[in-house]
A and B are shown apart, each in its own frame.
Chain A
Amino acid sequence: MEGLEFGGASSRLIVLKKSFRSGKTRGIGWRKSQLRALLKLIAENESQIFDALEQDLGKHPVEAYRDEIGVVKKSADHALLHIKEWMAPKRGKLPLLFFPSRAQLLPEPLGTVLIFGSWNFPISLTLDPLIGAISAGNTVVVKPSELAPTCSSLLYRMIPLYLDTEAITIVEGGSDVAEQLLLHQWDKIFFTGSPRVGRMVMSAAAKHLTPVVLELGGKCPVILDSFTGSDLKVVVKRIAGGKWGPCAGQACIGVDYLLVQQKLAPLLIESLKRCIKRFYGDNVKNLQSFCRIVNKHHFDRVCNLLEEPGVAASIVYGGSVDKENLVIEPTILLDPPLDAQIMTEEIFGPLLPIITLDNIEDSIDFINDKPKPLVIYAFTNNEKFKEQIVQETSSGSVTFNDTMIQFICDSLPFGGVGQSGFGRYHGKFSFDTFSHEKAVLHRSFFPELEPRYPPWNDFKLEFIRLAYNLDYIGLLLLLLGLRKVTPR
């Protein structure tokens, strides 16, 4: 695996910091030029990107466009459209006592930032944060995931051809390179990945007091309330699309497991089976429009989830694997044991456990027994139940009656809470996450509030008291000598 040696990374970092200090990344002209260059990179190398995603994950070009290329294009377009207003200082309001002062909130770049990409969406989860970092005026080091090597290598070759090499650097490599990078001092670290690695990143960041954003995952549940006729068809498509659609279930916001009332399970399973056959086919050696598992390690990990006692027995559809091609077919399980790994860990694969409940309202307690996920999906038309879910659970977001859709809306902040992480991005939130909002306060020398300073006396204390209570009338009376001063 070619990549930057430690020494190389060190010297590149010096270049980046120098570039930042020179101020070249501050102007809107530079930022816009980089965003346009990124769009050009995507447009001119689309088929190569499709090939790389096919190579690394068996991703179909349409899925690749939908989840990776299209997302990056949309984000860059959105940033270009709005960057001027994002960069503009905001007027700050001030209390009356501050008169005549003015205040501004001025966004500034943080400096030199580090972005760790992930392997499941190796293009979008690497470039989307980069768009935010550039818009905010930072210099950037990006380390794509080595588990998607073709994509990583493509970015390594392409980025220097289009973007400013003195401000944006791609570093390739595995965990050893990541560890080396983490020894340096960064102004922010943006990490997408697993909680385990997230902990290591944050611990390393702590040594330099570097702020971090952790985009982690969790077990994103679907709560399925009862449905009628035609709606059920759409519901099933959306669930299937949200489970097996994104990278064969290897997605942080992908559906992990499903909760449904017992009596509805049979109909649901039948509908899902039909849907799977229609979407992907039913021969594990010849599935269409369906990603494979990223590597042998994860393939074995997911297969092992099915090995536990009781789990294999709960398979009601699928379960076949193609070891040679690292494909696991869409698999449905009905009520696997709740203490099995498949129900205690994030699956990150095409296995869908369906857990049946006596009452669908019990899903709330079920979900609350697990760490807070990135998303909770709920299919229901019961407004009261929707309200209950919102009030009584906690997650990065809640989506009713659909899956995945919140991901592509730039006006919605994307991020987790609890074990699913902290920090957020997309749209303006990306810009904010890579910026520092500086408070700028302009005061004048006149008038002066003498009571602010010693030498102290009772008058001054009374003045301060009235001022903090916003008692302007009292203040006026005091100044006019019409208000008694009570000695302390």
Chain B
Amino acid sequence: MDLEREMREVREAFSSGKTKEESWRRSQLQNLLTLMHEKEDHIITALQQDLGKHPVESYRDEVGTLIKSVNYALKGLKKWMSGKKADLPFAAFPSTAYLVPEPLGVVLIISTWNFPFGLSLEPLIGAIAAGNSVVIKPSELAPASSSTLANLINTYLDTKAIKVIEGDASVGQHLLQHKWDKIFFTGNCKVGQLVMTAAAKNLTPVALELGGKCPAVVDSLSSSWDKRIAVDRILSAKFGTCAGQACIAIDYILVDKNFSSTLVELLKEGIERMFGKNPKESKSVAKIINKSHVLRLRSLLDDPMVKASVIHGGSVDEDNLFIEPTILLDPPVNARIMNEEIFGPLLPIITLEKNEDSIEFINSKSRALAIYAFTKNEEFKNKLSSQTSSGSIVFNDAIIQYVADTLPFGGVGGSGFGRYHGKFSFKEFSHKKVIVKRGFLVDFWFRYPPWNDHKLLLFRSAYRFDYLGVLLVILGLKKC
């Protein structure tokens, strides 16, 4: 593939103006929807190959979400594209002002391997809706998904304006040498740094969707219904979502020491209920992406004190890239497993004297993409919300915030910056241009030199929006 030619083509496509047309944007989104409906099987097969994801999990996390998002964008497109009138102070009379969204130009979307379709196409929806031409660089670590994505995009979308460029890190680096109007990156901090450093050379704005250690604080719950539901949601958000290889997966649990044994029992029982006696056989827990990550995860368990804290699971099948759902109880807090993003099916549970201690614990770590808390205590919820910071905070559920189009999705601090989903995707790939229209009827002569005290007084009044004052000065009734 001739990269230079592809780049030229995609830039020409934008310069031609066609991507700005509402009809083009609508047709591309429509085609994307058709792609999702018609080629669902291809997507599910690719995900099965790359990650051993169960078809229903794939539908739930990548196909269904995208269908929802495209429909939402199609519905909102006209409104999003239209300008908004802005209020102006009376002193600016007679003027009108508008805020008009415009596309940034040619944007680069770099996605990652755990949700290879979702994390490529969700930003793509925003980029198209905003009128840009787009290059997607999928992750080479999910090769079946990468090539399926490339084929499908080439078949269904306008290939002159929307391109998929496959390849490894060297291709990625090559792409970063070019001048983009925006770069949207999902991935880890290390690569995020490389992306932002490269972007700095061209003053390209970037959005970085990174990760972090998303904690789940579990309060003592009394009703057995609540306990059951909380456990289901916790297990699904850890082992049931790409085997924990997700930026918003629950990384670790914080629980009051009085409730911990109950929780552990419920979790063990829940694992069997959800994933079967033999999770590897049930195929409802995804595989680890590759050997290198299996070894990485295994090494987290190397520390003898960490190994000793394993109370469920722990077996690692290197050849089949499978790690069974594993629970650890109070591994040492300075062990690697408690200081690096786990990104796998190992669930440490840290017991605390009391719930409130979770705030300090969470604040001792870098800000995460999400904080989860399972509690009915309103006071504790308020405290947690106001005394911690994270991309988002979800009470009594997990992961679900990802599917709410009306909530911005993005990090803060170590978990990144920029946000998307729904209208936020549109905004992320747009520039809101300010248009001010003035008239000639009124021209405040005191705007211009030569300066004198009289004009100074008028400025003083004008800035205070003291219109009466301005009038009095003009009429000579107010003196400096």
Contact = CB atoms under 8 A, between A and B. Distances in A.
Query: Which residue among A231, A405, A468 has the maximum number of chain B CB atoms within 10 Å of its CB?
Result: A468
Interface in B186-219: 189, 192-193, 196-197, 199-201, 203, 205, 208, 210
B63 to A, nearest CB: 8
B313 interface: no
Contacts of A333: none
Given A110-B412, A209-B416, A399-B438, A411 B433 contact: no
B451 A390 contact: no
Interface stretch (B122-130, B331-339, B342-350, B456-464): B456-464
Contact of B392 (A288, A391, A394, A438): A438
Interface string B388-427: 0111111111001100111111001110111100000000
A377 to B, nearest CB: 10
A441 B59 CA distance: 24
Nearest to A109: B389
A93 B381 CA distance: 20
Contact of A442 (B208, B389, B395, B460): B395
A327 B165 CA distance: 54
B25 to A, nearest CB: 15
Chain B interface residue count: which class?
35 or more
Nearest to A106: B385
B452 to A, nearest CB: 7
Contact of B210 (A62, A207, A209): A209
B196 A445 contact: no
B436 A400 contact: yes
B437 A386 contact: yes
B42 interface: no
B196 A443 contact: no
A203 B392 contact: no
A401 B440 contact: yes
Interface in B309-341: none
A439 B451 contact: no
B437 A440 contact: no
A456 B57 contact: yes
B105 to A, nearest CB: 8
Contacts of B460: 65, 70
B365 interface: no
Contacts, number: 290
A298 interface: no
B71 A470 contact: yes
Interface string A361-384: 000000000000000000000000
A279 B434 contact: no
Contacts of A467: 64
A443 B436 contact: no
B304 interface: no
Nearest to A406: B436
B79 to A, nearest CB: 14
A209 B381 contact: no
A438 B390 contact: yes
B56 A203 contact: no
A400 B437 contact: yes
Contacts of B226: 445
A465 interface: yes
A60 B203 contact: no
Interface in A278-311: 278-280, 288-290
Interface string A384-399: 0010001110111111
A246 B232 CA distance: 63
Contacts of A214: 203
B389 A436 contact: yes
B39 interface: no
Contacts of A63: 449, 451
Interface in A51-92: 60-63, 65-66, 70-71, 73-74, 77, 92
A132 interface: no
B447 interface: yes
A398 B98 CA distance: 10
Interface in A430-488: 436-446, 448, 452-457, 460-461, 464-465, 467-470, 488
Interface string A184-227: 00010000000100110011011101010010100000000000
Nearest to A201: B200
A237 interface: yes
A28 interface: no
A231 B438 CA distance: 12
A158 B110 CA distance: 47
B278 to A, nearest CB: 12
A398 B435 contact: yes
Contact of B434 (A94, A98, A280, A406): A406
Interface in B227-281: 229-230, 232, 235-236, 240, 273-276
Contacts of A73: 463-464
Contacts of A77: 464
B249 to A, nearest CB: 14
Nearest to B55: A488
Contact of A441 (B97, B393, B450, B456): B393
A398 B96 CA distance: 12
A71 B64 CA distance: 50
Contacts of A313: none
B208 A209 contact: yes
B203 A216 contact: yes
Contacts of A207: 193, 197
Contact of B450 (A106, A234, A279, A470): A279
A26 B225 CA distance: 38
B97 A412 contact: yes
A445 B432 contact: no
A241 B450 CA distance: 11
Nearest to A447: B229
A103 B403 CA distance: 13
Given A417-B104, A448-B229, A470-B71, A441 B394 contact: yes
B65 interface: yes
B410 to A, nearest CB: 9
B404 A418 contact: no
B292 interface: no
A164 interface: no
B379 interface: no
B232 A417 contact: no
B95 interface: yes
The 5 A-B residue pairs with the shortest CB-CB distance, nearest first, are: A289-B449, A468-B64, A397-B434, A62-B451, A206-B196
Given A202-B199, A421-B203, A461-B55, 18 more contacts: A26-B386, A73-B464, A111-B413, A205-B196, A235-B440, A241-B447, A386-B437, A402-B436, A409-B86, A412-B99, A412-B436, A422-B203, A438-B390, A454-B54, A461-B56, A464-B60, A464-B64, A468-B67
20 contacts: A62-B452, A187-B413, A198-B203, A199-B200, A203-B201, A206-B197, A209-B193, A214-B203, A394-B102, A399-B435, A399-B436, A399-B438, A406-B436, A419-B203, A439-B401, A440-B392, A440-B394, A443-B395, A455-B275, A455-B276
